[in-house]
Every structure is written in structure tokens, then in C-alpha cells.
Amino acid sequence: MRSAAILLTCILFSYVQGVAIVTKSRCLCKDAGLNVISHKAIEKIEVYYASSSCQHMELIVTLNNGGEQRCLNLKSKFAKNFIKNLKREKR
């Protein structure tokens, strides 16, 4: 009887480990973001690639005045050019 209980416990633990846990999206950008921003206003641009916590790529711009962070709209011409140049640099 004891071996049956141990076997049942092992089966349950192996099932629980295989179950996918669905979490809420932890994306940094909550809206579409900026379409255009002056190059002079940008201190740095951070690229966050799609991951298990956020299913899409994000571009976060840190501004010179006060370090405020803003999201870039990935569909904008500005962001598309940045991504294209980034891919070109990686080659």
C-alpha cells in the first residue's frame, strides 16, 4: 500500500511540473508610444526583445531632460529605421 501511495505522489508531482503557468504580461510599454522624437533629446535607447514576460519587442527611450523614459511606436518610421540600423550593425 505504501508503494502505491509513493507512486501516486510521484505521478502527481510529475504532472504538476509539466503544467504551463500563465502569467500576466509584464510589458513596459502600456500604449503605442511616440512616433517621432528629436535625436538631440535622446540620451539612450534600450531594446527589449520578446520574451516569456512580454510577447513583443519594445524600444524604450531615455530623455536627456530628467531621465524620463518613453516608449517608441514600433510601427513608426523612426523606430523602423532604428531597428533596420540595429540589424545592419549586428551583421
Question: What's the CA gap between 40 and 38, in Å, rounded?
Answer: 5
Within a domain: 15: no
pLDDT at 83: 84
pLDDT in tens, 29-82: 988 888 988 888 889 989 999 988 888 899 999 999 888 999 999 999 988 888
Angle at alpha carbon of residue 26, lines to 16 and 34, rounded to 5°: 160
Mean pLDDT of 20-32: 71
Is the per-residue pLDDT at 1 higher than 90?
no
Domain coverage including residue 66 = 25-90
DSSP 8-state secondary structure symbol assigned to residue 63: E
pLDDT at 4: 66
CATH of residue 79's domain is: 2.40.50.40
pLDDT at 71: 93
Is the per-residue pLDDT at 10 higher than 50?
yes
Is the per-residue pLDDT at 22 higher than 60?
no
pLDDT at 90: 73
Within a domain: 4: no
Within a domain: 9: no
Query: What are the beta bridge partners of residue 74?
Result: none
